[in-house]
């Protein structure tokens, strides 16, 4: 159905039949309109955008990527920009203002009404990545002494400007938060009762300066679609709604994926990021790992004689150190993710290491068996034995390092996600080289 609708709109655009475009486009969901605008020619884009009713234009704008918003803003007149800003919800406005370059932000601030300006300044005053930055002050607040009928009248009067009325908030006359109750509770209650009668004083809230990741955790844990935000004295400042929090959750997960591959968190869109910006996010860890890897080189140098006498040993070197790194990456990732979701706690480390010893032993034995055949065929019985024995030791060592590193990092107040696959691989290499050539020296020296 959606595809048909879209098809019709494209058709009208092609024919420059603007009245029909307008009629057809207002029935599309906002994300679809936003996407469509950036799939047509820039010249037509502005025509179509200007066809949108004011309120819809604001909603569509809020669905765009930052780069797209910026592009569009540059085409709008000052008056159009002013009207667009007016239509944005306070949280969407903060998110726009905080992403723009300083000068552009100032230009937009100048266009705001005194009231909106005050609000924007206040919201931008919270630390970046805090829940305060996601907050909207548009909510419905009730007083406990009101009757349900009064409450419903108030909701009807204020609800149009509120971002959600699925949950309403009860405060005292100093705006101290007393409870959060669902609209459903109000609707289902007898209209002669008071708000206090349906209150259960069961609510959770966050403080404005807390990290926005807390909001993600809260909504997941308590199945909430909005969270009230208070100051240190418990005064209700605003609410954070689940649509913004879902966006944050996606961003945070992307950050964790990047960390897992030793990429510094990329704040921009990957597609839009410049070559230089990508370079900067990647080079730090790569260089650090180059220097760490010099230790594998040094380890090899100290075994130069045995290598020179048995060049066949080199054949198995990538295989052995890789296997150790691969097994280590597996256990590190399992631990990092389980720590991130709260499935395991720091105090579980000993139990998990115990289990890992057995798992890694089984893995090492299986892999040793596989490699022993290659070793036998390629280098004879002694080499086969050296390689198998090394495989067991390196897989176990890599796995245990991989598992313990996230816990250790977390204990030292670093992000456990720093235990990336490339870091584990490099550490596994150093230990792998040492183990391999030590075993080889013992076995071949005793020959």
From the CB of 121, what's the least distance to a second copy, in Å?
27
Contact mark string toward a second copy, 203..242, x via CB under 8 A: -x--------------xxxxx-x----------------x
- Tell me which residues in 134-153 interact with a second copy (CB under 8 A): 152
Our CB check for a second copy shows the closer of 31 and 127 to be 31
List 117, 187, 346, 442, residue binding a second copy (CB under 8 A): 187
Q: How far is CA 78 from CA 17, 44, 85, 112, in A?
A: 27, 20, 11, 11
Q: What is the largest CA-CA distance in the chain?
A: 96
CB 416 within 8 Å of CB 388: no
Stretch that binds a second copy, among 8-16, 91-99, 108-116, 311-319 (CB under 8 A): 311-319
In the complex with a second copy, which residue's Cβ is closer, 108 or 406?
406
Dig out the tokens for 85 from the structure: 């800003």
Least spacing, CB of residue 110 vs a second copy, in Å: 30
Sign for the pseudo-dihedral over CA of 422, 428, 433, 434: positive
Only one residue has tokens 């306070």, namely: 90
Cα-Cα end-to-end distance for the chain: 77
Q: How many residues bind a second copy (CB under 8 A)?
A: 114
Q: Which residues contact 185 (CB under 8 A, 6 or more apart)?
A: 198
Question: Quick check: 165 binds a second copy (CB under 8 A)?
Answer: yes
Q: Please identify which residue in 119, 136, 333, 388 interacts with a second copy, judged by CB under 8 A.
A: 333
Q: Judged by CB under 8 A, does residue 350 bind a second copy?
A: no
Rule CB under 8 A: is residue 287 a binding residue for a second copy? Answer: yes
Pattern of binders to a second copy over 363-392, x per CB under 8 A? x--xx--xx--x---x--------------
Give the residue from 213, 208, 261, 259 showing the smallest Cα distance to 236.
Answer: 208
CB atoms within 10 A of CB 112: 18
Tell me which DSSP letter residue 205 carries.
Answer: -
**Contact with a second copy (CB under 8 A): which of 247, 376, 382, 415?**
247
- CB 127 → a second copy: shortest distance, Å? 23
| Residue 307 CB coordination number (10 Å) | 16
Residue 120 Cβ, how far from a second copy at the closest point, in Å? Answer: 22
Q: Toward a second copy, which CB reaches closer, 112 or 429? A: 429
Q: How far is the CB of 7 from a second copy (least distance, A)?
A: 17
Distances (CA, A) of 14 to 60, 120, 380: 21, 40, 73
């Amino acid at each position: 159905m959606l595809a048909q609708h879209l098809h019709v709109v494209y058709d009208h655009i092609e024919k420059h039949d603007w009245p029909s475009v307008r009629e057809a486009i207002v029935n599309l969901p906002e994300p679809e309109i936003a996407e469509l605008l950036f799939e047509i020619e820039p010249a037509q884009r502005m025509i179509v955008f200007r066809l949108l009713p004011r309120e819809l234009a604001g909603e569509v704008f809020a669905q765009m990527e930052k780069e797209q918003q910026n592009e569009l803003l540059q085409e709008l007149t000052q008056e159009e920009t002013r009207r667009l800003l007016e239509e944005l919800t306070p949280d969407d406005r903060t998110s726009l203002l905080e992403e723009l370059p300083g000068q552009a932000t100032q230009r937009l601030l100048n266009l705001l009404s005194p009231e909106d300006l005050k609000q924007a300044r206040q919201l931008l005053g919270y630390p970046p990545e805090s829940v305060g930055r996601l907050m909207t002050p548009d909510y419905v607040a009730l007083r406990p002494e009101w009757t349900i009928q009064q409450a419903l009248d108030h909701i009807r009067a204020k609800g149009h400007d509120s971002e959600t009325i699925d949950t309403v908030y009860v405060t005292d006359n100093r705006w101290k938060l007393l409870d959060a109750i669902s609209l459903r509770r109000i609707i289902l209650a007898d209209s002669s009762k008071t708000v206090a009668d349906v209150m259960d004083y069961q609510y959770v809230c966050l403080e404005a300066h807390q990290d926005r990741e807390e909001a993600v955790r809260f909504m997941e844990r308590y199945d909430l679609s909005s969270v009230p935000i208070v100051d240190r004295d418990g005064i209700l400042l605003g609410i954070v709604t689940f649509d913004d929090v879902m966006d944050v959750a996606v961003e945070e997960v992307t950050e964790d994926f990047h960390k897992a591959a030793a990429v510094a968190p990329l704040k921009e869109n990957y597609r839009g990021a410049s070559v230089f910006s990508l370079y900067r996010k990647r080079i730090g860890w790569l260089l650090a790992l180059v220097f760490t890897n010099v230790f594998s080189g040094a380890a090899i140098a100290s075994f130069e004689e045995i290598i020179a006498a048995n060049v066949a040993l080199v054949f198995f070197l990538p295989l052995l150190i890789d296997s150790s790194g691969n097994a280590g990456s597996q256990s590190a990732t399992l631990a990092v993710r389980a720590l991130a979701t709260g499935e395991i706690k720091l105090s579980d480390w000993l139990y998990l290491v115990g289990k890992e010893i057995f798992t890694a032993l089984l893995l090492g034995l299986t892999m040793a068996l596989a490699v022993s055949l290659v070793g036998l065929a390629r280098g004879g019985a002694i080499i086969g034995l050296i390689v198998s024995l090394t495989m067991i030791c390196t897989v176990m060592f890599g796995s245990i390092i991989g598992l313990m590193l996230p816990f250790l990092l977390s204990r030292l107040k670093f992000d456990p996600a720093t235990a990336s696959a490339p870091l584990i691989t490099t550490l596994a290499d150093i230990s792998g080289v040492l183990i391999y050539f030590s075993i080889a020296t013992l076995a071949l020296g005793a020959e």
